[in-house]
Amino acid sequence: MHPMLNIGVRAARAAGDIIVRNMDHISDIAISEKGLNDYVTEVDRRAENIIIDTIRNTFPDHGILAEERGQLGKGEYQWVIDPLDGTTNYLHGFPQFAVSIALKNKNVLEQAIIYNPISQELFTASKGNGAHLNSRRIRVSNRKSLKGALLGTGLPFGDSDNVESFIRTYRAIYSNTAGIRRAGAASLDLAYVASGRLDGFWEYGLKEWDIAAGVLLIQEAGGIVSSIGDSDNVLETGNILCANSKIHDEMNDIIKSTI
């Protein structure tokens, strides 16, 4: 395992321990609302702090972009951190949430970790060395069309301008598939695309920390990731479409016809 990936894994596991230990005390957790239907808890903050501390103990000069604390320092290397993706699920005891950590070098994704602390499934990727689930190599599905495909998505929340676009796209895609799932933690959805559990995924309006690790995982698992719309930079737009090459192209054609 790459030394930087190893530190990221150590940080993710430490955060996961905090998340799991507090599950029996959810009713006592302090909660604040960052925006409409967007919550942060003391568990998010504690998990984020231990990730940052673990990274900075070894790499004190690296920059960090974290969901709760924002931009901390700058440098050729930047860690992108979501300490608890799926906070709303967590608060309801719905076991679909994860720790997501990515590392960029000169703005190129090089390392990725998505850790499900409930199942203890650890998804990792290093640029050029493939994607893995608990040390076992993973690949995107080999399904050749949307017929029979199982897709994932996320619903735009708050006062998003993407609601109408999503509704049109959903209507156009749904009838061509075996089903569409909305589980509420984008990082895990992307990990499931990388491991072939989902054949594809799309969502509007995500943040960089939601998707950075998942983007590299899918790419290293042989999949295609693109931004919905005109921009090529999915980390900037947050409008993500991903699948194997055949399903990606089919989904992309449908989405283009609806926007």
**Section 13-37 average pLDDT:** 78
Question: Could you report how far apart the first and last alpha carbons of the chain are, in Å?
Answer: 42
Q: What is the mean pLDDT of residues 29-44?
A: 66
Of 45-59, 106-120, 147-161, least confident by mean pLDDT is 147-161
What per-residue confidence (pLDDT) applies to 239?
Answer: 92
**CATH (residue range 3-138):** 3.30.540.10
- pLDDT digits over 99-137, tens only? 999 999 999 999 999 999 999 999 999 999 999 999 899
User: Are 226 and 206 a contacting pair, CB within 8 Å?
Assistant: no
Model pLDDT for residues 182-224, shown as the tens digit of each residue: 999 999 999 999 999 999 999 999 999 999 999 999 999 999 9
Check: CB of residue 195 under 8 Å from CB of residue 221: yes
**Torsion angles phi and psi, residue 116, rounded to 5:** -95, 105
Q: Could you tell me which of 137, 131, 125, 156 has the C-alpha nearest to residue 228?
A: 156
Could you give the percent of the chain with pLDDT greater than 90?
78
Residue 162 CA to residue 32 CA, distance in Å, equals: 25
> What's the pLDDT at 232?
81
Give the pTM: 0.94
Domain boundaries, the chain: 3-138, 150-258
3-138 and 150-258 have identical folds: no
Mean pLDDT of the chain: 92
Topology adopted by domain 150-258: D-Maltodextrin-Binding Protein; domain 2 (3.40.190)
Please report, for the chain, how many H helices and E strands are present, in that order: 8, 15
Q: Which stretch of 31-40, 196-205, 245-254 has the lowest confidence by average pLDDT?
A: 31-40
Query: Taking 60 as the threshold, does the pLDDT of residue 252 lie above it?
Result: yes
Residue 83's pLDDT band (boundaries 50, 70, 90)?
very high
- Residues 65-76 have pLDDT tens digits of 999 899 999 889
